[in-house]
Structure 1
Amino acid sequence: MNTAFSRFRLISITEGISYLLLLFVAMPMKYLADNPYPVKVVGMGHGILFIFFTFVLFNAMIKYRWNIGVAFQLFVYSLLPFGFLLIEKVIKKLPQEENQK
Structure 2
Amino acid sequence: MTKSLVRTFPSVEAGNGVTRRVLSDSPDLMVVEFRFAKDGIGTLHSHPHIQATYVLSGRFEFTIGDEVVLVSPGESFVIPSLATHGCRALEDGVLIDTFTPRRDDFL
Q: Which of the five TM-score ranges fits, normalised by the shorter chain?
A: under 0.3
Larger radius of gyration: 1
TM-score with structure 1 setting the length:
0.27
Please state which structure has a larger fraction of its residues in helix: 1
Structure with the largest fraction of strand? 2
